[in-house]
């Protein structure tokens, strides 16, 4: 029997579109761990991340017919998970502190994070406030631009830049304190 990693996405998508429950389960089994990591980065706790994961997969299944194959299927799923998390954060009326102008912060200790494990880095990022964490994840991890972040979160581009700069300062301090 083939492992889930060897099953072609196109076969799984076709099966899901045909209503095959086995294909849905295989798709979930293949991607749930990676998508959970995306959800956890946004939500900051396991329970909320699990809820977003379930909601996100429902959206994936409902919108499979919209996947055009123009990019990677995994990337398409990541975008759905990120958007689902952002929608939930909005519903919780996530507040962003407003800043007069964005600061450009350079890392004072380049390579400082090289000595940290991925687990330590995720823990530090998860300790950020929801506003900082969301902007940081969208910009650094998911690759959104400030305009896209601003549009998605209903904030100004300046606020997005400021939130990112402040998140970097906080993360720098946390990394420095670990040493």
Structure tokens at 46: 């396991």
> What per-residue confidence (pLDDT) applies to 31?
96
Positions of the chain with pLDDT lower than 70, given as ranges: 1-7, 93-116, 118, 179
Find all residues with CB under 8 Å of 38, minimum gap 6, and list them. 78, 81, 82, 85, 142
For the structural domain made of 4-91, what CATH number should be given? 1.10.1740.10
pLDDT tens for 75-125 read 999 999 999 998 888 777 654 443 332 333 333 444 555 566 767 777 888
> What per-residue confidence (pLDDT) applies to 111?
52
Domain ranges of the chain: 4-91, 112-178
Among 39, 24, 139, residue whose Cα is nearest residue 89: 39
Rounded Cα distance between 116 and 137, Å, is: 18
> What per-residue confidence (pLDDT) applies to 110?
46
For the structural domain made of 112-178, what CATH number should be given? 1.10.10.10
């Amino acid at each position: 029997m083939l492992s889930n990693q060897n099953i072609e996405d196109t076969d799984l998508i076709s099966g899901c579109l045909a209503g095959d429950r086995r294909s849905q389960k295989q798709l979930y089994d293949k991607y749930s761990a990676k998508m959970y990591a995306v959800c956890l980065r946004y939500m900051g706790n396991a329970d909320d991340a699990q809820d977003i994961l379930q909601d996100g997969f429902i959206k994936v299944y409902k919108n499979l017919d919209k996947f055009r194959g123009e990019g990677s299927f995994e990337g398409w799923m990541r975008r759905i998970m990120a958007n689902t998390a952002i929608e939930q954060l909005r519903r919780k009326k996530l507040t962003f502190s407003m800043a007069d102008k964005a600061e450009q912060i350079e890392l004072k200790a380049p390579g400082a994070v090289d000595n940290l494990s991925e687990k330590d880095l995720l823990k530090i990022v998860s300790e950020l406030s929801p506003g900082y964490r969301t902007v940081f994840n969208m910009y650094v991890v998911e690759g959104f631009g400030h305009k896209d972040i601003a549009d998605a979160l209903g904030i100004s581009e300046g606020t997005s830049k400021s939130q990112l700069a402040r998140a970097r300062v906080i993360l720098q301090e946390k990394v420095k304190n670990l040493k």
